[in-house]
Amino acid sequence: MVQFTTLNEISNETIMQLLKRAERGIDMLSMSGSKRFTVANLFYEPSTRTKSSFEMAQKELNIHSLHFDVTSSSVQKGESLYDTVKTLEAIGCDALVIRHPLKAFYKELQDVNIPIINGGDGAGDHPTQSLLDLLTIYQEFKTFKDIHVVISGDIRHSRVARTNAAILRRLGANVSFSGPDEWMDYDITYSNVVPVDQAVKAADVMMLLRIQTERHGQNGFIDQENYHHLYGLTIEREQQMKDHSIIMHPAPVNRNVEIASELVECSRSRIFKQMTNGVKVRKAVLEHVLKTKGEVKYENIV
């Protein structure tokens, strides 16, 4: 049973294969005997891009999407995640996409007999976001080796920062960080923290992060205007970037906080390209986990 819960357990070779597969594109996917796969999408936290791009990927692969509504399900009667997953396995789902606020929620699902794709676990991991970020960087530079990626903003509370920092380092990129001291996390950054005005000049990729207010608790107040001025990608800072450098952000974007509104769609911005790539990599991940369910048949879309 292939699980896709954290990139820490996936080799560099498999990651590169997934990126190549995503880039090449995948046709419709079905099990031998033309049985269509069914995948349920369980989102216990809000989502726009991850949820809709998984649904789009499923549609393009001719997979049935089983919509699971947390607010009207037995989750409201206190059903555990494990029992919900066992139920969806019993009624015949072939794989599950799960987003959950609990860090490493998948550890309590080790004994289930259905592939789980992690759609984001609290401040833990976000493996498919990382894949789409990797694809975006690879399309640009054709390598990860020695590419200087600056991850900027709310590092401590961001699953995107955690997953990307680890995988980019493993693939040979040079990763540094900028942002307010109280949002740095030595387990992610080590000693590679630089002031934002220095970072923008050095970066090949400026990867901005959303301020994760939902994870700040009571001490989370930030003055957004001040943040933009002190740490954000202002128009003046963008002008300091190298000619070939690009801007990324996993979105949702707080315009004029992490990034000046005018820069969201500027020529360096790959923010919407990242979303397009989200569908491609999620198709590759669905294929990767469903392949283990039996012989897979490909059909050309006519």
Please give the residue ranges that form the binding site for ligand ASP (CB under 6 A): 49, 120, 126, 129, 159-160, 210, 250
Amino acid letter at 42?
Answer: L
C-beta closer to ligand ASP: residue 210 or 282 = 210
Q: How far is the CB of 48 from ligand ASP (least distance, A)?
A: 8
- DSSP state for residue 63 in the 8-state scheme: P
Q: How far apart are the first and last CA of the chain?
A: 32
Give min distance, CB of 149 to ligand ASP, in A: 16
Closer to ligand ASP by Cβ: residue 133 or 287: 133
Sheet holding 246-248, edge to edge: 174-178, 148-152, 205-208, 246-248
Strand partners, 222: none
Least distance (Å) between residue 90 CB and ligand ASP: 29
Q: Which residue is nearest to ligand ASP (CB)?
A: 210
DSSP H/E element including 60? helix 49-60
Minimum CB separation from ligand ASP for residue 129, in Å?
6
Which residues, including other chains, have CB under 8 Å from residue 27's CB and lie 6 or more apart?
61, 298, 299, 300, 301
Considering the complex, state which of residue 31 and residue 185 has its C-beta at the smaller distance from ligand ASP: 185
Q: Which is nearer to ligand ASP, 37 or 278 (CB)?
A: 278
Cβ(283)–Cβ(57) below 8 Å: yes
Query: How near is the Cβ of 160 to ligand ASP at its closest, in Å?
Result: 5
Kindly tell me which of 159 and 288 has the beta carbon lying closer to ligand ASP: 159
CA dihedral over 47, 40, 289, 25, signed as positive or negative:
negative
Strand partners, 95: 39
